[in-house]
Amino acid sequence: MVDAPFRQRARKGRGSLSNASGRFEPTTREAADDGWENRGQSNADDEALPVLRTFVGIDKARQVITRNDSPDLNFDRSINPYRGCEHGCVYCFARPSHAYLGLSPGLDFESRLFAKPDADQLLSAELAKPGYKVATLALGTNTDPYQPVERRHEITRKILAVLAETKHPVSIVTKSDLVLRDLDILAPMAKQGLATVMLSVTTLDGKLARIMEPRATAPAKRLAAIAQLNAAGVPAGVLFAPVIPAINDHEMEKVVEAAAARGATRAGWVLLRLPLEIKQLFEEWLEAHFPDRKRKVLDLIRQARGGRLYDSRFGTRQTGEGVYAQMIQTRFRALERRLRLGHDYRALETRHFTPPPPDVRQMRLF
């Protein structure tokens, strides 16, 4: 009898199916069936894999503000309070960054996290430098600042406290309604034109959401957060990202309309990006959850990426090109016009910025 080919299985609460070595490692590891799972009458696919718990280490960063000069982004600086993200979105474009830590962009990325507990102190020091020039600082550009571990560590809240004290503008992107915890900071900032929030909502289907983003807040709660933020005076919009061909692309109108009905002032979208190790992770995910659509999904991605699964060129990497990408762009622009989204957008204020006082402890060295 010929054994069935080994097939990766999903773990409850996790997005990745595998944990292959990062691209910088001298050795590689692969999952393989040793035959023991199939002994007896049990079906291996029906047996739950052991729970993979989250480990949080310490990131001893010397500075927290990251700079970029990408023409595709509307900000030049950002802060990521955590490395790795427990939400487990298999398509997360930040996954390859875990390879720099000697870890896998797969399961390691969502289960072996690193926190920056002194981020607020480092931020104060950077804002106090004489040459610092104020501009909107983005939170949530790489990993989610309100992922589950933030409930315990509260690093994002401490960062916001520094920004509020210095009257520094901030924009936030998140998939969590935990952002509501910090309304006491964000609402006064927004009143001064210093804060905006974008909630990422990829689907209204709770079952699909659990497959796409296992540990993120349920879509209904994210929509409710948009309503509560706007009611509190914090401009909040919706980000339909990523658009995954033949998986969630048909929901764009419903998602944006639902957000607009709850007061969303802006909307945005980003086409699925599959750089480096994410290609393999995404294909494994498709095989496990959508084997009937796998070929169609990948074909549509290639159509929008010049025949490849990823195109890193500035100007097209966020939106793609070709017939499929143009169709998404046309649909989105029609939505913006019909729902009047973004018509009253205003840049955040920078004129109120007040640098923190210099650290008096440093003066004792002189």
Per-residue confidence (pLDDT) for residue 231, from 0 to 100: 97
- Residue 103 lies inside a defined structural domain of this protein: yes
User: Domain residues for 147?
Assistant: 50-343
Torsion angle defined by CA atoms of residues 9, 14, 16 and 17, in that order, rounded to the nearest 10 degrees: -10
- Residue 131 lies inside a defined structural domain of this protein: yes
Query: 145 exposed, middle or buried (CB, 10 Å; 0-12, 13-18, 19+)?
Result: buried
Strands 66-67 and 55-58, how do they pair? unpaired
Rounded Cα–Cα distance for residues 240 and 267 (Å): 7
Per-residue confidence (pLDDT) for residue 48, from 0 to 100: 62
Number of domains in the chain: 1
- Residue 207 lies inside a defined structural domain of this protein: yes
Per-residue confidence (pLDDT) for residue 45, from 0 to 100: 47
Per-residue confidence (pLDDT) for residue 2, from 0 to 100: 35
Per-residue confidence (pLDDT) for residue 71, from 0 to 100: 84
Per-residue confidence (pLDDT) for residue 33, from 0 to 100: 53
- Residue 334 lies inside a defined structural domain of this protein: yes
- Residue 22 lies inside a defined structural domain of this protein: no
Residue-wise burial string across 81-120, b where 16 or more C-beta atoms lie within 10 A, e elsewhere: bbbbbbbbbbbbbbbbbbbebebbbbbbbbbbbbbbebbb
Per-residue confidence (pLDDT) for residue 30, from 0 to 100: 63
Can you read off the two tokens belonging to residue 247? 């998986």
Rounded Cα–Cα distance for residues 163 and 58 (Å): 23
CATH of the domain at 152: 3.80.30.30
Per-residue confidence (pLDDT) for residue 26, from 0 to 100: 66
Can you give the pTM of this predicted structure? 0.89
Name residues of the chain where pLDDT drops below 50: 1-6, 38-46, 360-361, 363-366
Whole-number average pLDDT of the chain: 89
Q: What share of the chain is helix, strand, coil (3-state, %, to 5)?
A: 35, 10, 50
Per-residue confidence (pLDDT) for residue 23, from 0 to 100: 75
